[in-house]
Structure 1
Amino acid sequence: MSITPMWRVDRDGSMFTDKKAAEEHDRMLELAANLTTLLENHFTIDEQLAEEIGLLLSRNKDVLSKAFKGKPDLVLKIGKDSEEKTAESEVA
């Protein structure tokens, strides 16, 4: 019988076999929570919508960082990669 160490992220209960991946996921959720708070503090916005926007932005922080540094077209590709993968899996 083998034992596999697991790391659980307290924020959402996600389980990981890799500590680095668990920490990265936790940082993404922390950024999403802070973005959600920012949106709620500056706009009259539904809490659920603010949460979804916060998660979208934090999941795509690398793309957004590149977009802010002079490649604004990258923003338009957010979500298209996952849509293309979904379409490819439906064809297969």
Structure 2
Amino acid sequence: MAVVAVWKCDRDGAMFDNKKDAEEHDKMLELAANITALIERNIDGVSEDACEEIGLMLAKRREVLAKACKGKPEALLEAEDSNAETGSEQADSENVTPLAANQ
């Protein structure tokens, strides 16, 4: 029986083949949680689920968001267009290794 090393993110239980991807995912989830808390504190009337979705969406697009904040607001729309064309949102979830029992 072979032993396979995997890294598990304690925030959501996602499994990864390497430590770098696991740490990147964990940092993204931490950013999402902080954005969610910021929205909840500053905007009344937004549901908890909506806050979490917004926080996760912004955290996943943090590089493009940073470009937009630095003077390229059109980068947000360009990134959205390219995501729709290439399906790169699915690529994010492809880094997660499914946990299989009894292999």
Alpha-carbon distance in structure 2 between the residues aligned to 1:42 and 1:26? 25
Question: Identity of aligned pairs, percent?
Answer: 49
Whose helix fraction is larger, Structure 1's or Structure 2's?
A: 1
- Structure 1 residue 4 displacement after superposition: 1.6
TM-superposed CA distance for 1:77, in Å, is: 2.6
Offset at 1:70? 1.4
Deviation at 1:80, TM superposition (A): 2.6
Per-residue CA deviations over 1:2-51 (Å, capped at 9, x if unaligned) read: 32200000111100011010000000000000000000000111100000
In the other structure, the counterpart of 1:14 is 14
Give the alignment's TM-score, normalised by structure 1: 0.86
Calculate the aligned-residue CA RMSD, in Å: 1.2
**Distance in 2 separating the partners of 1:76 and 1:26:** 26
Count of paired positions: 86
* Partner of residue 71, structure 2: 70
Name structure 2 gaps, 5 residues minimum.
88-103
Amino acid at match of 1:82: N
Kindly indicate whether structure 1 or structure 2 has the higher relative contact order, using CA contacts under 8 Å at least 6 residues apart: 2
- Large movers: runs of 4+ above 3 Å: none
Letter in 2 for 1:64: L
Return the TM-score normalized by structure 2.
Answer: 0.77
Shift of 1:79: 3.2
